[in-house]
Structure 1
Amino acid sequence: MKPVIAFVTGGYSGEAVVSYKSAITIEQNLDPEKYEVYRINITPEEWFHPTADGGKIPVDKSDFTLTIAGKKIRFNGVFIGIHGTPGEDGKLQGYFDLMGLPYTSCDAAVSALTFNKRYTVAVAAFGGIRVAKSLHLFKAQPLSSAQVLAQLKLPVFVKPNNGGSSIGMSKVNLPEELAPAIEKAFKEDAQVLVEEFITGREFTIGVYRSKGAIHVLPITEVKSKKEFFDFEAKYTPGLAMETTPAEIDAALQSQLEMNAKKVYELFNCRGVVRMDFIYEPEIKEPFLLEINTVPGQSEASIVPQQVRASGGTLKDFYSALLDECLA
């Protein structure tokens, strides 16, 4: 009997559009010879399995099952393809834990922690990983621009503390730009992270666990044609130059891989995660920016690029993630 897998996509945030882009690649590469896969769309209005003829079969949320032609479909595992809430922030993971269902991402606690950028860097710093100096702002207790600038040096990045895809993010070079940037970020989230800008080379690294061992995918160097790698640069062809594998010497490659493995272990990650680092050339150290526990999987996304650069196929890669989760 083939394992029965629920592939979940969609989500409750603006990142759902990115989830649906990832879904195309994932669906094309989940091996039908090995798994019986049912797509589940999770939206704020309904959870359903879309049928070939355009119909919708509702999910029974009491036990996460489908009933098709009078037969109850129970799942052996879940492939998580939701960016943003509830698939990347631990909410769905907690639900699947209650259902006793294994899934391909980090657990509920790690997902919730890494979805919060400030808590991520705080735990990383505690574990000996270098991070930028930052301030955590709350809508209920706002700080003035002067209070922020008394503690941090310009330029700074201002970003919503939760969420991804660089929505609501700004780079601030002048004091008068800070208040509007904070206001823009607060439109996306009730918490905001203000972080000192680190100059250097930006690298992003996919890391996953298979057969109990931690594997690092080929490293990507990202150079944005805009001032930084924002939503537009991420999703507009030609605005960012991504080089996989990065053109770096063996010593830097080893240093980045070692840091990526350390972060994966420190946070007790599962499945594939993507970490962003800035390598500061003067002190010759990588600084961790953030951790994505459900990285993009569209054709142009970084993890699929890295899998191809490693000489592997996405079909084998997704099988490895599923086999690890089912084990």
Structure 2
Amino acid sequence: MKKNIAILYGGDSSEVKVSLKSGLQVAKIIDTKKYNAFLVLVKGPKWLVKSEPFKDCKVNKDDFSFTADNKKIKFDFALIAIHGTPGENGVLQGYFDIIGIPYSTSGLLTSAVTFNKYACKLYLKDINIDTAKAVLLREKDKIEPDKIIAKVGLPCFVKPNNGGSSYGITKVKTKNALTAAVKKAFAEDTEVIIEEYIQGTELTCGVFKTKKKDIVFPITEIVPLNEFFDVDAKYNGASNEITPARISARDEKNCKELTSLIYDTLNCKGICRVDYILTKNRLVFLEINTVPGMTKASIIPQQAEYLGINMTELFNMVIEDGLVL
């Protein structure tokens, strides 16, 4: 009997548009010879099946099922394609742990730590992984530009501490611009991280480890056409993404080994992507994405294609690994 796979998409953050695209794309590539795939739109407490002929059936969150024509259909596996809240921060993971449904991503603790950029930096810094200097601000904190600049310098990046897809990010070049950038980031989150700017080559490396095999994807070099890898660069083609990256064999080896180490250290599961800045003497960790984009413009599909792995095959591995307890 074919297993029922729920593809969760949507969510409650600024990343909802990207999540919708990822979910729709994943639905197209799921192996329907092996699985029954159902799109499930998550928006606050309202979860609706969006696949025909069951469109707009409400999901019963007591046992992760829905009823159509007096027949209950229970999901066997959750494929999480929600970027941001609640798919990337541990909320959905905690729910599925409670009801005993396997899912495609890292667990609750790993998701919560990696979603919090500052906490993740502290965790990795403790095992001597190179990270950018950073200052954390909470809403109640006073914004003191002189103290912040003394710590991280100029230019610097101001970002929401919890979030992704480059929403709310500003590259700040002057002291006078800092306060407005912080307020912009606070519109996205209750915490803001301010990081030093490191000039170098931006790299990103995907990784996926199953119980049977490890895959460290080819490294992609990102060359933004804008000033940095913002939303426009990520999803509207305003960047050149070069796979494999134009780096030395030594730097490639170091980057792949570090990606594998970070994945293991954080106890990651499923497909992840780790972002870096490479300088002449440093490979600096920026952040890890535990629910990386799966749109046509996303990086993981590009890296998989270079390896000769089609996306249907890749998601077969994700589902099969998750279903094996």
TM over 0.5: yes
Deviation sequence 1:143-198 (CA, Å, 0-9, x none):
31122123221111110101111011011111111111111111111100011111
Aligned pair 1:260/2:259, yes or no?
yes
C-alpha change, 1:136 and 1:208, in structure 2 (3 Å) is: same
Q: Partner amino acid for 2:269?
A: R
* Cα distance in 1, alignment partners of residues 266 and 16 from structure 2: 25
* Cα distance in 1, alignment partners of residues 152 and 252 from structure 2: 31
Indicate if the aligned counterparts of 2:6 and 2:78 stay in contact, CA closer than 8 A.
yes
* Cα distance in 1, alignment partners of residues 51 and 21 from structure 2: 19
Indicate if the aligned counterparts of 2:39 and 2:51 stay in contact, CA closer than 8 A.
no
Q: Which residue of 1 aligns with 2:223?
A: 223
- Residue aligned with 1:8, SS: strand
Q: Partner amino acid for 2:87?
A: G
Q: Which residue of 2 aligns with 1:301?
A: 298
Deviation sequence 1:224-247 (CA, Å, 0-9, x none):
11111111221222x111001112
- 1:1-40 pair list within 5 angstroms: 1-40=1-40
**What is the CA-CA distance between 1:52 and the residue it aligns to?**
2.2
Indicate if the aligned counterparts of 1:209 and 1:321 stay in contact, CA closer than 8 A.
no
* Cα distance in 2, alignment partners of residues 310 and 120 from structure 1: 29
**What is the CA-CA distance between 1:53 and the residue it aligns to?**
5.5
Q: Partner amino acid for 1:34?
A: K
**What is the CA-CA distance between 1:54 and the residue it aligns to?**
7.8
Q: Partner amino acid for 2:288?
A: I
* Cα distance in 1, alignment partners of residues 259 and 292 from structure 2: 15
Deviation sequence 1:111-145 (CA, Å, 0-9, x none):
11111110111111112211001111111122311
- 1:196-207 pair list within 5 angstroms: 196-207=196-207
- Residue aligned with 2:158, SS: strand
Q: Which residue of 1 aligns with 2:285?
A: 288
* Cα distance in 1, alignment partners of residues 274 and 128 from structure 2: 16
* Cα distance in 1, alignment partners of residues 50 and 169 from structure 2: 34
Aligned pair 1:313/2:310, yes or no?
yes
Indicate if the aligned counterparts of 2:185 and 2:192 stay in contact, CA closer than 8 A.
yes
Q: Partner amino acid for 2:144?
A: S
Q: Which residue of 2 aligns with 1:240?
A: 239
**What is the CA-CA distance between 1:51 and the residue it aligns to?**
4.2
Q: Which residue of 1 aligns with 2:137?
A: 137
C-alpha change, 1:319 and 1:51, in structure 2 (3 Å) is: closer
C-alpha change, 1:58 and 1:225, in structure 2 (3 Å) is: same
- CA-based RMSD of the aligned residues comes to 1.3
* Cα distance in 2, alignment partners of residues 304 and 135 from structure 1: 34
1:322 to 291, 298, 319: 319
Q: Partner amino acid for 2:178?
A: L
Q: Partner amino acid for 1:249?
A: S
* Cα distance in 2, alignment partners of residues 190 and 204 from structure 1: 27
**What is the CA-CA distance between 1:215 and the residue it aligns to?**
1.5
Structure 1 segments unaligned to the other structure (5+ residues) = none
Structure 1 runs, 4 residues or longer, greater than 6 Å off: none
Indicate if the aligned counterparts of 2:133 and 2:151 stay in contact, CA closer than 8 A.
no
- Residue aligned with 2:221, SS: strand
- Residue aligned with 1:217, SS: strand
Q: Partner amino acid for 2:308?
A: G
* Cα distance in 2, alignment partners of residues 50 and 125 from structure 1: 42
- Residue aligned with 1:188, SS: coil
Indicate if the aligned counterparts of 2:23 and 2:39 stay in contact, CA closer than 8 A.
no
Q: Identity of counterpart residues, as a percentage?
A: 39
C-alpha change, 1:55 and 1:325, in structure 2 (3 Å) is: closer
TM normalised by structure 2 equals 0.97
Q: Partner amino acid for 2:244?
A: P
Indicate if the aligned counterparts of 2:6 and 2:39 stay in contact, CA closer than 8 A.
yes
